[in-house]
C-alpha cells in the first residue's frame, strides 16, 4: 500500500473511531432498564383517526382523547391542507378524509384547503374500502354500498382451493374480523355534517337475517378471533386486525364485561404515544427487532459480548423465543416451533426475518445455542418451494387475490422477498448442516437480482435496502468477491451515490423505476445499507465506501446520534410506510463498525 493510501486509511479509521465511540455511547444510553431497545414505529395519521373512530363506536371517547388526537392531526397536516402516507409524500385521499373526519368530530375545522382537496379528489366515493368501513361505522356511509367480505370464508378448510390461509397473516386476521363487522352493520352515528365530502348519512339498511350457514360462520369466526388474541390484547401485534377485532366483538353484542374485548381495549394503552399535548397510537411495536439490530451494531463496534447491557439484551431475547405453534403450522404441520417474533407479544406469528437476525445477534453474544438451533431449524422449515423466504408463511403466493374487489389496501400476500431471503442466508451461511437450504436460497437470491444490479426491498426502502441485505447474504455463503453479482451491485451503487457521499431513495421507487436508489435527499439508514453492501463486496477500502463513511461521520450529531425524518421502512409498499426511530442509529453503527473491522483486519 502506498504512503498516500496508508495515510487515507488511517484518517478514515480515526474518523470511524470517533463516530463509533460517540454513537456507541448514545445507543447504550437508549437501552431500557429491562435490556430492551425499542424505538417508536411511526406511520401515518390514519392510525390516529381510527383510534378516535373505534373509541367513538364503543362509547369510550373522553375530552382528553379528543384533544390529544386533534392536536396530533393538526400537527401532521401539511401547509396545503392535506395529509400523506409518508413524510413529504404526495397527498393521499383516504388518509386526508380520515384525518378531516376525525378533526370535525373533535370540533376542529381543518380549513378550506383540506375540504377543497378532498372534494377535488372525489371525496368519500373514491376512498378505499377501509375508509368507507369506518365511515359506515360512524353512520356516514351505507354498509350495503361496499363489497362484503363473506364470513363463510372462515369455513373453507386450508386444503381447499381457496381459504383464509391463502392470505398473508396480517390480511387474514383483518379480513376475518372485518367480515364479521360487515355482516352486522354496526353504526354509532357521529353528529357531524360531512355532506360536502360525499357522505351519505343514515342510509345503512339493517343486516339481513342470517341463515343457518351464516350463523355457523359467525360462530366459527368469533371463536377464531378469540383464539388468535395475543397476551397483550392485540391481534398479531398490529393495528388493523386489532381495531376490527374490537369492532367485530362489539358488533356481536359483547360489552366490556367480555374478557376478550376488555383485554383488547385495555391493551391499547401500551401502544399510545403521548407527545406533549398530542396523542397517537403506534400501528405496531418492534422491541425484538430493534434489540437484535442494536446488539449486532454494538458488537460490530467492538462492545464486548460480556458488557452488562448486552448480557441483559441477550437475556431478553432468550426469554422471547417462540415455543408454541401458530398459523404457520397450517402449511407446515410437522415443523417444530422456534424462532422469534417482531413485537412484545406475538407468539402466534413469529417471522423468519426476526428468526434470522436474532440468531445472528445471539451468535455474536455466544448465547443460547439450543435456542438458536431451534430457530434455524424452524427457519429452514419455512423456506418456500421456490427457494426464497417469505416473512410469516410458506408459499404464500396467491397473487390472484389482488383481483378481489375488497383487496384495495395494499399487500395481501407474503411471497418470498430478497431482503428476508438474504437475512436467512446471512445466518445460515455461517452454520453447518443446512447446505441444501443455502444452495436453494442462494440460487433464488441470485436469480432475483435486477438488470441494473440491485435487489428489490420488500420491508425497507427499497433497492438500497434490498441490495444492502443481499450482499452480506452472498458473502456469508462464500460467494467470491469477483462474482458478477457483486460487480453489478457495486456498479449500481456507484451510479446512485450522491455528491455528498450519502445515499437516499424516494419511496416513489416502488412505482417508478427511475427513482431506484435516487432521491432529492440522503438518509443515514439508507447510506448505511449501501456501505454495508460495499463492505460485504470486499470494497471497504474503496473510494465509494470511504465517501459513504465520511458522510455518516459528517452528519452525526454531537451526542452521537443521527437525524432522520424520512420513512425508510416498509409495511405495504406505497400504501403503508414506516419510520423506525432507531434505524437512524443502529444501521449507521452497524455499517461503520463492519467497515472498521475490515480496515483493521
- pLDDT number for residue 1: 47
- pLDDT tops 90 at residue 557: yes
- pLDDT number for residue 407: 74
- pLDDT number for residue 13: 62
Phi–psi pair at 278, nearest 5 degrees: -110, 150
Q: What is the mean pLDDT of residues 84-90?
A: 97
Phi–psi pair at 504, nearest 5 degrees: -155, 150
The DSSP bridge pattern shows strands 41-42 and 569-572 to be unpaired
211 and 148 in contact (C-beta within 8 Å)?
Answer: no
Establish whether 353 is a catalytic residue: yes
- pLDDT number for residue 11: 58
**Rounded distance, CA 85 to CA 44, Å?**
5
Q: DSSP string of 432-495? A: SS-HHHHHHHHHHHHHT--TTS----SSBSSHHHHHHHHHHHHHHTT--TTSHHHHHHHHHHHH
**Rounded distance, CA 290 to CA 578, Å?**
14
Handedness of CA 6, 10, 11, 16 (dihedral sign): positive
- pLDDT number for residue 128: 94
- pLDDT number for residue 58: 98
Task: Say which of 66, 166, 290, 353 is annotated catalytic.
Answer: 353
* CA distances for 209 relative to 141, 205, 206, angstroms: 21, 12, 9
Handedness of CA 587, 589, 592, 597 (dihedral sign): negative
Q: What is the mean pLDDT of residues 335-346?
A: 95
Helix (H, G, I), strand (E, B) or coil at 9: helix
- pLDDT number for residue 406: 78
- pLDDT tops 90 at residue 10: no
Q: What is the mean pLDDT of residues 563-568?
A: 98
Q: What is the mean pLDDT of residues 416-436?
A: 97
- pLDDT tops 60 at residue 196: yes
402-406, 515-519, 549-553 — which is least confidently predicted?
402-406
| 19-41 pLDDT, tens digit each | 999 999 999 999 999 999 999 99
407 and 352 in contact (C-beta within 8 Å)?
Answer: no
pLDDT-derived band at 281 (thresholds 50, 70, 90) equals very high
- pLDDT number for residue 592: 98
- pLDDT number for residue 601: 78
- pLDDT number for residue 366: 98
Q: What is the pTM of this model?
A: 0.96
- pLDDT number for residue 302: 97
Q: What is the mean pLDDT of residues 469-478?
A: 98
- pLDDT tops 80 at residue 177: yes
- pLDDT tops 80 at residue 439: yes
Q: Mean pLDDT across the chain, nearest whole number?
A: 96
- pLDDT tops 90 at residue 308: yes
Q: Exposed, middle or buried by CB within 10 Å (0-12, 13-18, 19+), for 255? A: exposed
pLDDT-derived band at 9 (thresholds 50, 70, 90) equals low
Domains located in the chain, CATH noted:
3-40+285-600 (1.50.10.20), 44-281 (1.50.10.20)
Helix (H, G, I), strand (E, B) or coil at 342: coil
pLDDT-derived band at 12 (thresholds 50, 70, 90) equals low
pLDDT-derived band at 505 (thresholds 50, 70, 90) equals very high
**Rounded distance, CA 489 to CA 599, Å?**
21
Rg (C-alpha) for the chain, rounded Å, is 24
**Rounded distance, CA 524 to CA 551, Å?**
8
Q: Where are the alpha helices (DSSP H) in 259-368?
A: 259-267, 287-300, 308-319, 352-365
Q: Taking the mean position of all CA atoms in its chain, how far away is CA 268?
A: 18
Q: Between these two residues, 5 and 362, which has the higher pLDDT value? A: 362
Amino acid at each position: 500500500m502506498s504512503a498516500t493510501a496508508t495515510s487515507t486509511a488511517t484518517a478514515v479509521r480515526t474518523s470511524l473511531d470517533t463516530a463509533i465511540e460517540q454513537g456507541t455511547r448514545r445507543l447504550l444510553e437508549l437501552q431500557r432498564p429491562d435490556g430492551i431497545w425499542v424505538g417508536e414505529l411511526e406511520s401515518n395519521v390514519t392510525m390516529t383517526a381510527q383510534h378516535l373512530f373505534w373509541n367513538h363506536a364503543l362509547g369510550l371517547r373522553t375530552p382528553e382523547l379528543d384533544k390529544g388526537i386533534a392536536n396530533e392531526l393538526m400537527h401532521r397536516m401539511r401547509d396545503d391542507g392535506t395529509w400523506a402516507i409518508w413524510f413529504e409524500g404526495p397527498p393521499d385521499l383516504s388518509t386526508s378524509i380520515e384525518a378531516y373526519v376525525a378533526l370535525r368530530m373533535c370540533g376542529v375545522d381543518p380549513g378550506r384547503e383540506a375540504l377543497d382537496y378532498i372534494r377535488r379528489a372525489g371525496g368519500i366515493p373514491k376512498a378505499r374500502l377501509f375508509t368507507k368501513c369506518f365511515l359506515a361505522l360512524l353512520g356516514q356511509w351505507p354498509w350495503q354500498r361496499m363489497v362484503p367480505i363473506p364470513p363463510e370464508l372462515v369455513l373453507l378448510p386450508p386444503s381447499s382451493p381457496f381459504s383464509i390461509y391463502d392470505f398473508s397473516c396480517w390480511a387474514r386476521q383483518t379480513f376475518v374480523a372485518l367480515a364479521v363487522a360487515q355482516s352486522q352493520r354496526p353504526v354509532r352515528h357521529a353528529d357531524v355534517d360531512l355532506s360536502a365530502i360525499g357522505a351519505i348519512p343514515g342510509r345503512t339498511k339493517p343486516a339481513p337475517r342470517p341463515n343457518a350457514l351464516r350463523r355457523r360462520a359467525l360462530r366459527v369466526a368469533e371463536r377464531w378471533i378469540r383464539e388468535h388474541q395475543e397476551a397483550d390484547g392485540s391481534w398479531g401485534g398490529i393495528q388493523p386486525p386489532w381495531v376490527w377485532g374490537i369492532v367485530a366483538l362489539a358488533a356481536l353484542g359483547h360489552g366490556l364485561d367480555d374478557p376478550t374485548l376488555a383485554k383488547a381495549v385495555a391493551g391499547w394503552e401500551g401502544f399510545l404515544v403521548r407527545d406533549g399535548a398530542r396523542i397517537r397510537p403506534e400501528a405496531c411495536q418492534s422491541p425484538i427487532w430493534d434489540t437484535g439490530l442494536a446488539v449486532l451494531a454494538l458488537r460490530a463496534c467492538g462492545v464486548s459480548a460480556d458488557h452488562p447491557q448486552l448480557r441483559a439484551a441477550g437475556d431478553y431475547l432468550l426469554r422471547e423465543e417462540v415455543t408454541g405453534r401458530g398459523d404457520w403450522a397450517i402449511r407446515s404441520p410437522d415443523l417444530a416451533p422456534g424462532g422469534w417474533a417482531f413485537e412484545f407479544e406475538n407468539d402466534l406469528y413469529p417471522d423468519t426475518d426476526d428468526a434470522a437476525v436474532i440468531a445472528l445477534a445471539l451468535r455474536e453474544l455466544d448465547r443460547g445455542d439450543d435456542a438458536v438451533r431451534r430457530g434455524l431449524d424452524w427457519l429452514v422449515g419455512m423456506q418456500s418451494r421456490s427457494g426464497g423466504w417469505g416473512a410469516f408463511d410458506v408459499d404464500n403466493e396467491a397473487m390472484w387475490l389482488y383481483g378481489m374487489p375488497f383487496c384495495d389496501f395494499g399487500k395481501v400476500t407474503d411471497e418470498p422477498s430478497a431482503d428476508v431471503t438474504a437475512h436467512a442466508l446471512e445466518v445460515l451461511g455461517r452454520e453447518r448442516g443446512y447446505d441444501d437450504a443455502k444452495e436453494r436460497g442462494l440460487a433464488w437470491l441470485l436469480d432475483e437480482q435486477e438488470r441494473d444490479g440491485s435487489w428489490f426491498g420488500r420491508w425497507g426502502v427499497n433497492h438500497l435496502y434490498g441490495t444492502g441485505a443481499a450482499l452480506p447474504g452472498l458473502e456469508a455463503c462464500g460467494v467470491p468477491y469477483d462474482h458478477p453479482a457483486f460487480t453489478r451491485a457495486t456498479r449500481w451503487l456507484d451510479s446512485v451515490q450522491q455528491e455528498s457521499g450519502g445515499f437516499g431513495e424516494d419511496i416513489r421507487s416502488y412505482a417508478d423505476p427511475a427513482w431506484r436508489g435516487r432521491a432529492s435527499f440522503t438518509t443515514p439508514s439508507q447510506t448505511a445499507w449501501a456501505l454495508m453492501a460495499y463492505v460485504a463486496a470486499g470494497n471497504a477500502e474503496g473510494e465509494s465506501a470511504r465517501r459513504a463513511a465520511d458522510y455518516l461521520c459528517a452528519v452525526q450529531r454531537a451526542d452521537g446520534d443521527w437525524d432522520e425524518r424520512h420513512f425508510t421502512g416498509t409495511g405495504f409498499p406505497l400504501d403503508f410506510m414506516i419510520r423506525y426511530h432507531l434505524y437512524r442509529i443502529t444501521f449507521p453503527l452497524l455499517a461503520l463498525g463492519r467497515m472498521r473491522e475490515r480496515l483493521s483486519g
